[in-house]
Structure 1
């Protein structure tokens, strides 16, 4: 008799016994001292092994966001973030600037959408002109573009709240030079290509002694250079207020990270896609830098083979309690379990990464990845992988190697540190006696 047949037979037996015992005074089936349950419930904590892997080629191109700032973390080391962006001239609007126009002021507008530390909210921003053009190709976080000594803008911005637009004055020498070229219809503004050759783009950074990192939103609706100038009125007076916008975000932009892990347990982590054992014995995850923790579930396969007819009731993954982060830094609110293999590379399905899927989803899908949610009280990430383990026991879908990774490997800069023994996979199962 197969397993389904056994379950049906036991169900019929239990129903009959329930009806029979309903007339007795000793209580329901399963609670009397003489009753023997045909099902035994158990729990198994599955052993795992782990290591740290440095991923290669983390794309940072045209994400609509860029990172700037400086991080100095005792666990993962130093990070200096710079954002590079082309400027869109919007040359079709230049015909409206007359030869008599007079420049009044120039403002740089920028929106902030991310804070590494939640309390250091004053951005000491500096914006410089690039000395070489940004190539229209895929850029990764280890790339950079040469920066000139010409400072375009600088100033302190106090971020009251994220997703708000803030403005600072542009350097007037740079602003006047650019405005005169636009007003006089110089060859530098004859086309977007000519403009980029003369003004390759901007580099966004913070002062070197700044101690926080920020995410700037690059889109033409909120990130731009506004030229405010006065035009001649019909009576000949120069008093008609006008504007011209040079926008950011529609053209190529990316961010680069300079990483220095010297003096940390990750100092020897230099080769990509290779398993590494940190000297601290801890496990690390760092968004942006491409550091993930690899987990091997080979013991789950051994356990499943020993219990071929076990019924998986529920299975849970937990990571924590994690190590205390730097003051003011909030760990990522979510983590993912991305599938990998012996080559230690993430496995793609189109634009998505293959991952363990949410309960009830297709095990080989990629659109509903399992999310491990962070609990601040217990400092632990928790998620249910019942469907995955159920498919595993049924030998429908078995994979033993995966990465613990942030939900966006290039969308934030946070990190997670934990002890390898604090990754736990518990399987609650039942067996027919």
Structure 2
């Protein structure tokens, strides 16, 4: 090495020795190639990490509705109960001589989550008030509306994957009452408005451990009836569909007490050291991740003489909290910059799962480019409290895919890998 490069090497080494005394900064690797000097700094670990739980999941705008009761060691307990209004598929006046045979609720599967083997009872209740939206046309998952506590249908069920639906027989007395009001000139089956004057809808519940099952808007109530004098073969059917109704939403009762979270508060930043070293992102639990850089001055000192060419945040998934069947990890996350109140400032895009290792569960992780966030923080006042935010993307239905993230070992830990180049 020529003397001038040796002196430059020693000078930069001495300079960086003073900059990297903090345990969160590793010693830099120095690579020389001719007249090019390349400095690399790895593993910035001075991070403050939090889980934030939000109760405000809007569920009336989703294309599906969800039923089920699930409990596990990682999330806690989830109880999903749909509230459904029904509408007329076509204007109908039932013949006066018509005789009702049976009435069924047909629920078409969209998808299901967790173990489908256990059987479970489904209770069906009559909704007693119309579903009211707020000024933004939203109904949130924590809301509920009045319903009759006496079931009008109860049935033992099991999800059978090769079938396309669940079918529940409704009470004959309740069904007959509605059916009779569908006769004559004042038939409640003339329009959805006429129907909802008498019949507000249904509420479904299960208290047994079961999968979480999402159903489509094509689900319907079917009235099977016949005309005694009619020579045509077979029964007639009158359908009231969810799709033609005025609204629907899924109510969620969630107990977040689990192996990692004990009595977690919503709308609070929960530090990682209060959740057994885990942070969480999950749609159904309302969980997102906040990351702060408490000692940004460490990077500021380096930035006076060096240029950050790349920065990536590594987030390993905690072993034994995921698999491809019952606890599938979310494959894409959204990345934001938020202020101290967790209000969105800037969108930094999305990131996909970088590595998948289901067999040994040692190298499943996200590697999220965050140079834009580092540059943003370096350009702010040293006391700026803006942070990085990681959340699950919105979807057309309720999804149970999520992330349990934690450091695993010295090799697989939560960190930021940063690459520096000298300015001169």
Deviations 1:68-116 (A, max 9, x none): 21122223322211111111134x5213x32222334433222223333
TM superposition shift of 1:50: 0.8
Determine the structure 2 residue equivalent to 1:44: 42
Determine the structure 1 residue equivalent to 2:406: 419
Contact 2:75 2:258 in 1 (8 A): no
Report whether the alignment pairs 1:249 with 2:243. yes
Deviations 1:106-150 (A, max 9, x none): 332222233331453756433222233322332212112233213
The one of 336, 351, 354 aligned to 1:370 = 351
- TM-score of the aligned structures, taking structure 1 as reference length: 0.73
Give the aligned CA root-mean-square deviation in angstroms: 3.6
Determine the structure 1 residue equivalent to 2:389: 403
Structure 1, unaligned runs of 5 or more: 1-33, 349-353, 358-368
Deviations 1:34-67 (A, max 9, x none): 9634131413322311122222422122311222
Contact 2:121 2:208 in 1 (8 A): no
* CA distance, structure 2, for counterparts of residue 204 and residue 174 of structure 1: 16
TM superposition shift of 1:297: 3.4
Report whether the alignment pairs 1:131 with 2:128. yes
Alignment of 1:103-118 (within 5 A): 103-118=100-115
* CA distance, structure 1, for counterparts of residue 147 and residue 129 of structure 2: 7
TM superposition shift of 1:188: 4.8
Q: 1:338 to 1:114 in 2, by over 3 A?
A: farther
Contact 1:123 1:158 in 2 (8 A): no
Deviations 1:342-363 (A, max 9, x none): 0124x28xxxxx5322xxxxxx
Determine the structure 1 residue equivalent to 2:151: 150
Contact 1:318 1:425 in 2 (8 A): yes
Deviations 1:225-262 (A, max 9, x none): 222333477xx536464322101034211111112245
Deviations 1:141-192 (A, max 9, x none): 2112233213235341433159x34434333333333222213455655653
Aligned pair count reads: 375
Determine the structure 2 residue equivalent to 1:428: 419
* CA distance, structure 1, for counterparts of residue 49 and residue 167 of structure 2: 47
* CA distance, structure 2, for counterparts of residue 124 and residue 326 of structure 1: 28
* CA distance, structure 2, for counterparts of residue 271 and residue 158 of structure 1: 33
Q: 1:319 to 1:204 in 2, by over 3 A?
A: same
Q: 1:111 to 1:313 in 2, by over 3 A?
A: farther
TM superposition shift of 1:314: 3.9
* CA distance, structure 1, for counterparts of residue 416 and residue 185 of structure 2: 67
Contact 2:340 2:386 in 1 (8 A): no
Deviations 1:336-381 (A, max 9, x none): 3233210124x28xxxxx5322xxxxxxxxxxx3344562444523
Of 277-286 and 381-390, more deviation after overlay is shown by 381-390
Contact 2:116 2:211 in 1 (8 A): no
Report whether the alignment pairs 1:225 with 2:221. yes
Of 122-131 and 248-257, more deviation after overlay is shown by 122-131
TM superposition shift of 1:320: 0.9
Contact 1:39 1:432 in 2 (8 A): no
The one of 321, 332, 335 aligned to 2:333 = 335
SS of the residue corresponding to residue 91 of structure 2 reads: helix
Report whether the alignment pairs 1:388 with 2:386. no
Of 60-69 and 321-330, more deviation after overlay is shown by 321-330
Deviations 1:184-230 (A, max 9, x none): 45565565344324222111222x1224322222x2xx211222333
Structure 2, unaligned runs of 5 or more: 1-31
SS of the residue corresponding to residue 370 of structure 1 reads: strand
Determine the structure 2 residue equivalent to 1:213: 212
Determine the structure 1 residue equivalent to 2:87: 88
Contact 2:280 2:403 in 1 (8 A): yes
